[in-house]
Chain A
């Protein structure tokens, strides 16, 4: 059979290497399926097999060691076309490095066929063992032989969700087996067992491929053949703009603010600190002010401190830090512990402190109030902003009432509780 997918060039492999057999049989298998070479993308990994791409007349993509299956996954999802065939050539070394990508591709059932060139060692770099090296199999750097069983990749991808998985001996005509794998939709994998003529045979004189594979307890068989749905990108059409004028804040109030004010609120995670700060900043915006809000919190979600810096100003706000706040609100012990630096930095200003907390040493004026007891810990932060607004009149309390009443919280809590 004349080549139709390979050029007439001599294949770039050592004499007796199974990679030549796979290349020739791939050509033959594709001829059996009658595919257009330009409907095929062959993605090659790093390793001796990877230099085949210069001999192919299909599209070729040659990437990094171990990553070819992930690269092919992007190609497959990008093409999103069942008429296109994505084929990955990868060695047992590359498969060891990129095992996660193979599992992931099988799990997602990306439309591709992975051809594992398993010669049981890393050939290109001098014959180091891979995790596919069978127990007892020797390599130049492992003269005592591998002490563990090698991976059964067919078992692994079957468990992960592959549509098709099979192992063949790299001997004779394997084009029908390859054609079977290529013809499956979704993720298919075919593992071709070979011997590296440079390192495998020299390290294991007299070995026979079939016996070695049998001894390795790697059955030559089809492990899985099913028709699970192929990966299909979940395309979102006509998504809504993230810039929605309907979400703009109406200018309904006015402010008596004279100069920029930096506020800091410190409380506990899960007690609505960030949300309260956002409500306050939005209320400032609806009063014609400029406002920024930034949050500080540990990486944990529901435990520890939660702090927010808010700045309100008549003019554009540039620097958004608040190392020395004008107003510091502390609603919990977590907040008090976190606020240490700010308290030390304040040489004037006001601290609103929950009554449950010990009054810290400070040059700022301290106002003690029962935030937590009055409306519960969950609403203490929000309540503290209402109190601050009532006392400072930097903008109308009504602005915060308005923002609150537009929120879902209004269904759970009557705003009058904050105003008493």
Chain B
């Protein structure tokens, strides 16, 4: 048998993510190599117009912020140890309202842990990244198709809301290789960074109706641009805790919530008559899909919700989950980070977690739990 269509590419998903980011308009990769984010680094050397090998992750975030302030759209990829070093820089970029993409490839911790073992252990860290409880948009991908589509949404969100955005993934999601049908890839439209075009003096932090300020790059010869990481007014002048300055800081969170519906992505596969729902994200999504498929084949009714927008938590997740008598949250960490974030440290009895540490969650574990509930 022969076929000339030849559409199956043998690839890992890092390649899809880098190509999608490039096509969406990301133009600089700055970073420091760390397992298991290395493939992002190596693909980026071949694809991005500008590649900058940073000496460490603190420098990475500073370089990225400098690039973003001049109108570029930078990307980096790291893992927990690198993200930890970036923390203050991410807060700075968030306060300065500088768009950028930070890919966090999770690996097994604590500390250096096992660099070559996947995990889903960093969600609580991301949720707590911005001091004061402000929200940092965070996306997750559930399969190869998402690795093409979600990065574009991440770029759109970063640019449209003028904010750093995190793509949370894990080792097996971006390093496992498989056949991918490239004829299924959708066209990607480049996202442009719009700039302020008016003779009225520019106020770098004066927000529009979407609570997002206009942008002008440093170095432009029309208006002065002031950018600062300290509490500031709409002109970018440092203030103590004046009302206008505090309102500006609170706006950083409010703009995420106000525009959340524009970047809410999920997959709800609800089965009529089901009283149990499996909820998952990232690497555990495929195990959850397999578990639900097998349960249904066995005649069990069960629904599935896959989160792709992790943070801020879209209210629609509660609307969907609240319809079920049993909620099973599957994620590859020790204590159930998303489960605790959604339902508290001591969740109600109808909410259970399937967790594992140091190995991928097996669909059999989810099936066993659901069968026990029904």
Is A367 on the interface with B (CB-CB < 8 A)? no
Contact with B along A378-397 (1 / 0, CB 8 A): 00000000000000000000
Instruction: Contact check, A64 vs B89: say whether CB atoms are below 8 A apart.
Output: yes
Instruction: Contact check, A70 vs B63: say whether CB atoms are below 8 A apart.
Output: yes
From A53, A243, A250, give the contact of B6 (CB < 8 A). A250
From B35, B58, B286, give the contact of A318 (CB < 8 A). B286
Contacting residues, chain B, for A195 (C-beta < 8 A): none
Size band of the B side of the interface?
35 or more
Within B34-72, the residues touching A (CB, 8 Å) are 35, 43, 46-52, 55-56, 58-59, 62-72
Report the bound CA distance from A248 to B224 in whole Å.
51
Is B340 on the interface with A (CB-CB < 8 A)? no
Contacting residues, chain A, for B360 (C-beta < 8 A): 319-321
Contact with B along A315-347 (1 / 0, CB 8 A): 001111101000000000000000000000000
Instruction: Contact check, A251 vs B286: say whether CB atoms are below 8 A apart.
Output: no
Is B219 on the interface with A (CB-CB < 8 A)? yes
Tell me whether chain B's interface is mostly helix, strand or loop, or mixed. Answer: mixed
Contacting residues, chain B, for A291 (C-beta < 8 A): 178-179
Report the bound CA distance from A60 to B229 in whole Å.
11
Contacting residues, chain B, for A78 (C-beta < 8 A): 28, 66-72, 218
Report the bound CA distance from A38 to B221 in whole Å.
5
Q: Which of B7-15, B120-128, B346-354 contacts A (4 or more CB under 8 A)?
A: B7-15
Instruction: Contact check, B66 vs A71: say whether CB atoms are below 8 A apart.
Output: yes
Given contacts A239-B46, A319-B362, contact A41 B10 (CB under 8 A): no
Instruction: Contact check, A77 vs B19: say whether CB atoms are below 8 A apart.
Output: no
Contacting residues, chain B, for A278 (C-beta < 8 A): 10, 177
Within A220-248, the residues touching B (CB, 8 Å) are 233-237, 239-245, 247-248
Report the bound CA distance from A342 to B116 in whole Å.
18
Q: Which of A151-159, A176-184, A292-300 contacts B (4 or more CB under 8 A)?
A: A292-300
Residue picked from A239, A240, A299, A320, most chain B C-beta under 10 Å? A320
Instruction: Contact check, A76 vs B66: say whether CB atoms are below 8 A apart.
Output: yes
Is A19 on the interface with B (CB-CB < 8 A)? no
Instruction: Contact check, A67 vs B10: say whether CB atoms are below 8 A apart.
Output: no
Q: Who on chain A is nearest to B45 by CB?
A: A236
From A37, A236, A241, A250, give the contact of B49 (CB < 8 A). A236
- Say how far B305's CB is from chain A's closest CB, in angstroms: 16
Report the bound CA distance from A294 to B14 in whole Å.
13
From B35, B64, B238, give the contact of A299 (CB < 8 A). B35
Report the bound CA distance from A252 to B9 in whole Å.
14
Instruction: Contact check, B177 vs A292: say whether CB atoms are below 8 A apart.
Output: yes
Instruction: Contact check, B59 vs A293: say whether CB atoms are below 8 A apart.
Output: no
Interface size on A, residues (CB 8 A): 73
Instruction: Contact check, A60 vs B226: say whether CB atoms are below 8 A apart.
Output: yes
Residue picked from A60, A74, A294, A296, most chain B C-beta under 10 Å? A74
Instruction: Contact check, B219 vs A318: say whether CB atoms are below 8 A apart.
Output: no
Report the bound CA distance from A40 to B126 in whole Å.
35
Contacting residues, chain B, for A54 (C-beta < 8 A): 237-238
Q: Who on chain A is nearest to B52 by CB?
A: A77
Contacting residues, chain B, for A285 (C-beta < 8 A): 8, 10, 179
Contact with A along B143-167 (1 / 0, CB 8 A): 0000000000000000000000000
Contacting residues, chain B, for A249 (C-beta < 8 A): 6, 8-10, 179
Is A84 on the interface with B (CB-CB < 8 A)? yes
From A60, A64, A245, give the contact of B88 (CB < 8 A). A64
Contacting residues, chain B, for A241 (C-beta < 8 A): 19, 47
Report the bound CA distance from A250 to B52 in whole Å.
36
Given contacts A70-B63, A292-B178, contact A100 B55 (CB under 8 A): yes
Is A363 on the interface with B (CB-CB < 8 A)? no
- Say how far B249's CB is from chain A's closest CB, in angstroms: 15
Q: Which of B207-215, B250-258, B262-270, B287-295 contacts A (4 or more CB under 8 A)?
A: B287-295
Contacting residues, chain B, for A149 (C-beta < 8 A): none
- Say how far A72's CB is from chain B's closest CB, in angstroms: 7
- Say how far A255's CB is from chain B's closest CB, in angstroms: 10
Is A36 on the interface with B (CB-CB < 8 A)? yes
Is A101 on the interface with B (CB-CB < 8 A)? yes
Q: Who on chain A is nearest to B181 by CB?
A: A248
Cross-chain pairs A/B with CB under 8 angstroms, 20 sampled: A37-B224, A54-B237, A63-B92, A71-B62, A73-B66, A75-B70, A78-B28, A78-B70, A101-B62, A236-B49, A242-B43, A242-B47, A249-B6, A249-B10, A252-B3, A278-B177, A292-B178, A319-B286, A319-B363, A320-B286
Using a CB–CB cutoff of 8 Å, the interface residues on chain B facing chain A are 1-10, 15-16, 18-19, 22, 28, 30, 35, 43, 46-52, 55-56, 58-59, 62-72, 88-89, 92, 96, 114-117, 172, 175-179, 182, 185, 218-230, 236-238, 286-287, 289-290, 293, 359-360, 362-363
Known: A41-B219, A67-B92, A242-B15. 13 other contacts (CB 8 A): A41-B218, A62-B228, A62-B230, A64-B89, A75-B219, A235-B50, A249-B9, A282-B10, A292-B176, A294-B172, A298-B116, A321-B359, A321-B360
Using a CB–CB cutoff of 8 Å, the interface residues on chain A facing chain B are 36-39, 41, 51, 53-54, 57-64, 67, 70-79, 81, 84, 100-101, 104, 233-237, 239-245, 247-254, 278, 281-282, 285, 288, 290-299, 317-321, 323
